Amino acid sequence: MDSYQKKIDRLQQELAEKRRLIANEHLATGRHLITRDAKLLSSTRLSTLSQESQRLQSQIDDARASIARIHAILDREQQIDGEVDSLRGKIADLEESVQPMYEEIGRKAFEIYKSHPFVDENYVDLFSELVKNHEDIRDIDQQLVQLERETEEKPFLDRMVAKGKIALLRNRRTTREQNTPRLFRKAGRFVTESNFVTVVDDATLTRAVEPYHQVNTQIDDLNRRISDLQKEDEALSEDLRALGADRKAVRRVAELEQQIEELTTTLNNVSIQVGEGYIAELKKDDSGAAAVSESVTRVRELERECQAVGKQIEKLKAAIAAEEAAARIAEYQKKIAALEREIAENQASVEKLRGSIAETEAQKAQLEKARGPVDKL
């Protein structure tokens, strides 16, 4: 029986492989008919299955397009981030390059302001800090000249006190001088942000401002480019949101891939049904369309082989069942023989007990005779 079962196992594997090959041929036939020769699917059932397969394929194509679009958007967003960072770096470099320009612009603008008392009063605040700083330096210089002239005529102790004042004033002057470039830069920035250059219409100031305008034009161009990139990024984010991938794109791609896998499985099953149904509708001597005739022939050969293998399996199963039946019969016979032996043994016991009963009844009769009537006891 074990040898029969091993043969059955081997034949079942062979049968499963042949059925797999049949399914592959059905799949290939169905795909061809659906995509190339749908006109051959004349029956209502096959036509309906063909339409279903087209719907499934459309869903698969849409899911694949969504995945491709998500990847393209993510790549582009990464490129945009890199471009924006690069542009901001260039802007920072350009803004740093205009700092020295502010100082020169502020210096020339202040000179013009000082020499043009008719300049609009609206610009007074623009130069107020420079004016005060300039006046402080001038006042300190006057005080220094006064102290230095008077110091030579004073007694020793007074001269020492005066020298201390002179040192203090010089420190103050140094502080004012050191502060001047910063104030020039501040004024220069304000000048570039106002219409001062246009109002005074001075050629030297216009030339001083020109490099700044050139750099500022570059900065404006870069900022416009950043703005365009940010708008593009916002549009891409909207696209991701429409694709359901605005928060967790990786998870959304995984969901779409799972959807494609499930749809593909369903599509393959539909294609198999189409191929199987088409071949089943053919007459025995008809191999169908030329493009699928080889598959039709191969399916029929495999089906015949499956039938032969199936019959062999049934024979082997019958052989196993026959051996099992013989084994059960032998077991039944053993039980019958045992029961018959038990019956014979029980019959002997019965006969022995019957003899004992007869002997005991004889003894009882003798004892009753010896006893006599019970009422006379």
The answer to whether 281 and 43 have CB atoms below 8 angstroms apart is yes
Do residue 106 and residue 193 come from a single domain?
Answer: yes
Dist CA 205 CA 211 (whole Å): 11
- The pLDDT confidence band at residue 279, using thresholds 50, 70 and 90, is confident
Do residue 172 and residue 131 come from a single domain?
Answer: yes
Query: Please, what is the angle between helix 99-115 and helix 44-97, to 10°?
Result: 50
Q: Is the pLDDT of residue 145 over 90?
A: no
Domain boundary among 287, 322, 349: 287
CA distances from 160 to 142, 164, 166 (A): 19, 6, 10
Q: Is residue 6 in some structural domain?
A: yes
Q: Which domain holds residue 165?
A: 99-201
The 10s digit of each residue's pLDDT in 50-72 is 889 999 999 999 999 999 999 99
Dist CA 238 CA 259 (whole Å): 23
Domain count of the chain? 3
Residue range 216-220: average pLDDT? 92
Burial class (CB in 10 A: 0-12, 13-18, 19+), 234: exposed
Dist CA 159 CA 132 (whole Å): 30
Do residue 72 and residue 138 come from a single domain?
Answer: no
Do residue 116 and residue 149 come from a single domain?
Answer: yes
**What is the residue-averaged pLDDT of the chain?**
86
**Percent of the chain at pLDDT exceeding 90:** 40
Q: Is residue 134 in some structural domain?
A: yes
More confident residue, 158 or 272: 272
More confident residue, 346 or 109: 346
The 10s digit of each residue's pLDDT in 94-129 is 988 888 888 888 888 888 878 775 556 666 777 788
Dist CA 228 CA 15 (whole Å): 65
Do residue 186 and residue 114 come from a single domain?
Answer: yes
Dist CA 197 CA 109 (whole Å): 8
The answer to whether 103 and 188 have CB atoms below 8 angstroms apart is yes
Q: Is residue 222 in some structural domain?
A: no
Do residue 253 and residue 294 come from a single domain?
Answer: no
Who's near 14: CB < 8 A, 6+ residues apart?
Answer: 309
Is residue 319 within a helix (H) or strand (E), and if so which, with residue range?
Answer: helix 293-371
Sign of the dihedral through C-alpha 204, 208, 213, 218: positive
Q: Is residue 349 in some structural domain?
A: yes
The 10s digit of each residue's pLDDT in 179-213 is 888 888 888 888 888 887 777 778 888 888 889 88
Domain boundary among 180, 201, 222: 201
pTM: 0.65
Do residue 160 and residue 173 come from a single domain?
Answer: yes
Backbone angles phi, psi at 153, to 5 degrees: -95, -5
Q: What is the pLDDT of residue 21?
A: 92
The 10s digit of each residue's pLDDT in 296-333 is 888 888 989 999 999 999 999 999 999 999 999 999 99
Do residue 243 and residue 197 come from a single domain?
Answer: no
The answer to whether 89 and 222 have CB atoms below 8 angstroms apart is no
How does 153-176 read in b/e, with b if 16+ C-beta sit within 10 Å? eeeeeeeeebeeebeebeebbeeb
Amino acid, res. 192? T
The 10s digit of each residue's pLDDT in 30-40 is 888 888 778 77
Do residue 1 and residue 56 come from a single domain?
Answer: no
Domain boundary among 227, 257, 287: 287
Q: Is residue 218 in some structural domain?
A: no
Dist CA 220 CA 229 (whole Å): 14
Q: Is the pLDDT of residue 253 over 90?
A: yes
Q: Is the pLDDT of residue 151 over 70?
A: no
Largest CA distance in the chain: 187
Q: Which of 161, 100, 109 is nearest to 131 (CA)?
A: 109
Q: Is residue 242 in some structural domain?
A: yes
Do residue 7 and residue 67 come from a single domain?
Answer: no
Q: Is residue 264 in some structural domain?
A: yes
CA distances from 371 to 363, 374, 376 (A): 12, 8, 10
More confident residue, 285 or 131: 131
Do residue 136 and residue 82 come from a single domain?
Answer: no
User: Of the spans 105-114, 147-156, 273-282, 337-346, which averages the highest pLDDT?
Assistant: 337-346
Q: Is residue 348 in some structural domain?
A: yes
- The pLDDT confidence band at residue 155, using thresholds 50, 70 and 90, is low
Amino acid, res. 47? S
97 CB neighbour count, 10 Å cutoff? 14
Do residue 197 and residue 105 come from a single domain?
Answer: yes
- The pLDDT confidence band at residue 1, using thresholds 50, 70 and 90, is low
Who's near 310: CB < 8 A, 6+ residues apart?
Answer: 15
Q: Is the pLDDT of residue 154 over 60?
A: no
Who's near 263: CB < 8 A, 6+ residues apart?
Answer: 56, 59, 60, 63
Who's near 53: CB < 8 A, 6+ residues apart?
Answer: 30, 34, 267, 270, 271, 274
